[in-house]
Amino acid sequence: MKETKKLLLVVERDLRMFLQYKFIIIMRAIWFAAQVAFFGLIASRMVVPELADIYFEFYVAGVVIMMLYSASVFIGYDIFEEAEHGVFEYLLSLPVSRKELVLGRSIGGGIRSFILVGPIIAIALFVIGLANPLNLLIAFSALFLFAFGVSGMSITIAVMLKSGDRFDIFMGVLNALIVRLSTTMYPQVFVQDASKVYAAFSEFNPLTFASDLFRWGTGIERYLTMDPMPLAAIIGIVIFFFTFTFVGVTIYEKRLEGGGWQ
């Protein structure tokens, strides 16, 4: 019980920290509006007729997942900010175990990205509509795991690299590839047509799992895959979450101390 309380304190701290970044919230809102109102709307008029009716909703769902991903990654940048300002040493001096610290941060990172994306999800659901609330509930549960997993991944990479510059470039390249090699912007069948190599990456990409699940939850995916339930996507997200949360805890514990931050 005492451990849970400590964990919650770490989560609370990260949530409070996030609410200070009001400009990021404004920026993200502008980005979402531009993506949907310009790109989504115009691109839906560019695509092949069989996709034209559904592409706008498809794209809106993809943008939600892109936002969830980028908001969850943000915790890694917080870690560098703390290392730069010497807050890390303060955190290490607290009566909180390393495990509680990293688990709390991973959960905090996931929850705060949901807080950021919450209003966007509400707008997306208004645009897309809702076919089956139970499906959406299952999809949401998996998306929580996805957000925790991405936060865990960001923390793991940050503490492994211990260099703000390297982290910046690594996340920039990763972001460039992971978003584009996924089904956030286009259905898998077109990725397959474009390149077998791209399709192979896209098929096992956590963003693909998350996008497919969200679309399935809202009922759009039935137009595209006809899968009764994207079980592979759920399993993929669970594996992703466990890998980066629990492997992340181990790496974080080992790499946290000893300085070496650049």
Partner 1 sequence: MKAILHIIEHDFRNFFRYKWWLAGLISMNLADLLIMAVVYNQMVSPEIAELTKSYFNFFAPGVTVVGLFASAFMIGREINMEVRRQIHHYMLSLPITRLELAVGRLFAGGLRGMMYMSPLLLTTFLFLGFPSLPQLLVILGALLLLATGISGLSIATAVSTTSFEKFVTARGLVYYVLFFCSSIFYPLSLIQTLGREGVMPQPLVVLAEFNPLSSGADLIRSFLLGDPPFTLNMVRNLVVFSVIFATTATFAYMKIIERR
Q: Of these, 173, 229, 235, 247, which contacts partner 1 (CB under 8 A)?
A: 173
Give the interface segment with partner 1, choosing from 40-48, 135-143, 150-158, 236-244 (CB under 8 A).
Answer: 40-48
If binding means CB under 8 A, how many residues of this protein chain bind partner 1?
Answer: 41
Closest separation in Å from C-beta 86 to partner 1: 20
Q: Does residue 204 belong to the site contacting partner 1 (CB under 8 A)?
A: no
The answer to whether 232 and 246 have CB atoms below 8 angstroms apart is no
Q: How far apart are CA 70 and CA 46, in angstroms?
A: 27
Which residue in 117, 159, 181, 207 binds partner 1 (CB under 8 A)? Answer: 181
Q: Is 45 in the site for partner 1 (CB under 8 A)?
A: yes
Among 165, 235, 250, 254, binds partner 1 (CB under 8 A): 165
Q: What is the 3-state secondary structure (H, E, C) of 212-245?
A: HHHHHHHCCHHHCCCCCCCHHHHHHHHHHHHHHH
Q: Are 219 and 135 in contact (CB under 8 A)?
A: yes
Q: Are 18 and 81 in contact (CB under 8 A)?
A: no
**Does residue 129 interact with partner 1 by CB under 8 A?**
no
Q: Is 19 in the site for partner 1 (CB under 8 A)?
A: no
Greatest Cα-to-Cα distance within the chain, rounded to the nearest angstrom: 61
- Residue 161 binds partner 1 (CB under 8 A): no
List C-alpha distances in Å: 10 to 17, 93, 95, 217.
11, 13, 11, 31
* Binding stretches for partner 1 (CB under 8 A): 22-23, 26-27, 30-31, 33-35, 38-39, 41-43, 45-49, 51-52, 165-166, 168-169, 171-173, 175-177, 180-181, 185-186, 190-191, 193-195, 198
